[in-house]
């Protein structure tokens, strides 16, 4: 038996894919059931474990027996956990004509678009607004548009590469032609289906379903970083059933030699604080075990110079949170194949969400070194799924309204 290694798994579609949204099939009524995309890390981890299990000729009917803990089960886990596996992603990536693969990231939420018709004229950076009364406190700073007379829109269907993300984290903007729109990555296809009684091989009355699959473009790849597998645990390439309906995906495995993430930013004389951007969704609702609202795990609400702020520590760095820009929660469920039942639905803070913080001890370079590409505190299973991965950016001093 050899050593475990860091691997990069890449999946390409051989057909349409369907990753059921959090609503159950029976709840949709007359509306379509949509496909989530990219899929959840749990879905990809399940596909990878399926490849490993088939390679080792696992009897899946005995796998859910809690009394049996063969070495492979301890390594790849079961329905309750990932064992010794940890994953990172999933990430969307594009392959060019030369075979080079470029990873894509959600656009940070502090970047908005000024549109002209259906086109994006330019991108703008949001400001941290003046303190105002709201349900979270007496004087809470909220994000404000830099152009009060113009209507701006969030960039929710656009993606950027690591180089452009680094520019945004350094305090810059991105040019419209650097944005990759969702429609250039995959298309959506409507499907109509029935429920079937396998015993009688007949249609079940009243069970007619509408679903909407995704069809990734030929150059689109879904990536997942994996740690904890041995080189001989699986074939290095092959085909696996993927997502709902078990549609086909071609996979290839290679050693992880490049992190593909944006490089670390450097603070300068115009840096007021740091930005934390979520590269992967985070489940912060129950991470701290507290009932009071906390934008970041373990942070406590307090007053500072007439403003409502949240104070806490991440990786031992004392921080004060002044403002947050979060997207709509991601609802993630899934299907537990081992127990033949749906998983409990989670609400997650989406990737791309941004937090504005100051470093209480003033050592911004140390905070950047410590926090870049680390994860927010969470339960072990959530950490193993790669939740809450952070990229650190700079909060320029000209993005604070009402600064004294």
Q: What is the pLDDT along the chain (404 residues), one digit of tens a residue?
A: 556 678 999 999 998 888 877 666 665 555 677 777 888 898 888 889 889 888 888 877 777 776 666 778 888 887 778 888 899 989 999 998 888 899 999 999 999 998 888 888 899 999 998 888 988 888 889 888 887 777 888 888 899 999 999 999 999 989 999 999 999 999 888 888 777 787 888 888 777 777 888 899 999 999 999 998 888 888 899 999 888 778 888 999 998 877 789 999 999 989 999 999 999 999 875 545 556 678 888 898 898 888 899 999 999 999 999 999 998 888 877 666 666 677 777 888 999 999 999 999 999 999 999 999 999 988 888 899 999 999 999 999 888 876 65
**Quick one: tokens of 49?**
């474990």
Residues found in the chain: 404
**What is the DSSP secondary-structure string of 205-256?**
EEEEEEEEEEEE-TTEEEEEEEEEEEGGGS-SEEEEEETGGGEEEEEEEEE-
Angle at 127 between CA 125 and CA 133, to 5 degrees: 145
DSSP three-state, residue 126: coil
Q: Beta-carbon neighbour count of residue 56 at 10 Å?
A: 13
> DSSP label at 350?
P
Rounded to whole angstroms, the Cα distance separating 299 from 280 reads: 20
Closest CA to 51 of 93, 1, 9, 19: 9
Report the b/e string of 353-383 with b at 16+ CB within 10 A.
bbbbbbbeeeebeebbeebbeebbbbeeebb
Cis peptide before 233 (omega within 30 of 0): no
CA distances from 128 to 150, 299, 392 (A): 17, 19, 17
Q: What's the whole-model pTM score?
A: 0.87
- How far apart are alpha carbons 377 and 288 in whole angstroms? 8
Closest CA to 279 of 194, 401, 397, 165: 165
Proportion of the chain in helix, strand, coil states, percent, rounded to 5: 15, 45, 40
């Amino acid at each position: 038996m050899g050593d475990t290694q860091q691997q990069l798994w890449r999946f390409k579609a051989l057909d349409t894919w369907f990753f059921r949204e959090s609503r159950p099939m029976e709840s949709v009524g007359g509306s379509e059931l949509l496909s989530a995309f990219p899929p959840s890390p749990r879905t990809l981890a399940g596909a990878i474990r399926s490849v490993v299990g088939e390679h080792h000729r696992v009897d899946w009917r005995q796998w859910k027996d809690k009394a049996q803990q063969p070495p492979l089960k301890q390594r790849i886990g079961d329905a309750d956990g990932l064992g010794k596996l940890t994953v990172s992603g999933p990430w969307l990536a594009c392959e060019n004509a030369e075979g080079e693969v470029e990873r894509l990231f959600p656009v940070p939420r502090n970047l908005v678009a000024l549109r002209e018709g259906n086109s994006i004229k330019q991108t703008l950076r949001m400001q941290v607004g003046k303190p105002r009364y709201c349900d979270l406190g007496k004087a809470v700073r909220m994000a404000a548009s830099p152009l009060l007379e113009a209507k701006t829109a969030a960039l929710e269907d656009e993606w950027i590469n690591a180089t452009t993300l680094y520019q945004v984290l350094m305090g810059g903007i991105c040019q419209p032609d650097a944005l990759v729109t969702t429609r250039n990555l995959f298309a959506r296809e409507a499907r109509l289906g029935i429920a079937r009684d396998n015993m009688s091989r007949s249609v079940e009355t009243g069970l007619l379903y509408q679903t909407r699959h995704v069809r990734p473009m030929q150059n689109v790849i879904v990536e997942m970083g994996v740690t904890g597998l041995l080189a001989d645990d699986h074939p290095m390439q092959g085909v696996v059933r993927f997502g709902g309906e078990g549609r086909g995906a071609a996979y290839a495995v290679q050693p992880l030699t490049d992190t593909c993430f944006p490089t670390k930013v450097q603070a300068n004389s115009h840096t007021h604080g740091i930005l934390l951007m979520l590269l992967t969704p985070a489940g912060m609702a129950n991470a701290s075990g507290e009932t009071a609202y906390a934008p970041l795990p373990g942070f406590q609400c307090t007053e500072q110079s007439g403003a409502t702020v949240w104070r806490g520590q991440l990786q031992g760095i004392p921080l004060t949170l002044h403002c947050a820009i979060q997207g709509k929660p991601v609802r993630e469920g899934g299907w537990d194949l081992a127990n033949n039942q749906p998983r409990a639905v989670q609400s997650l803070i989406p990737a791309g969400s941004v937090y504005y913080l100051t470093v209480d001890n003033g050592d911004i370079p140390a905070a950047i070194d410590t926090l870049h590409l680390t994860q927010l505190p969470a339960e072990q299973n959530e950490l193993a799924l790669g939740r809450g991965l952070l990229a650190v950016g700079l909060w320029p001093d000209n993005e604070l309204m009402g600064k004294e």
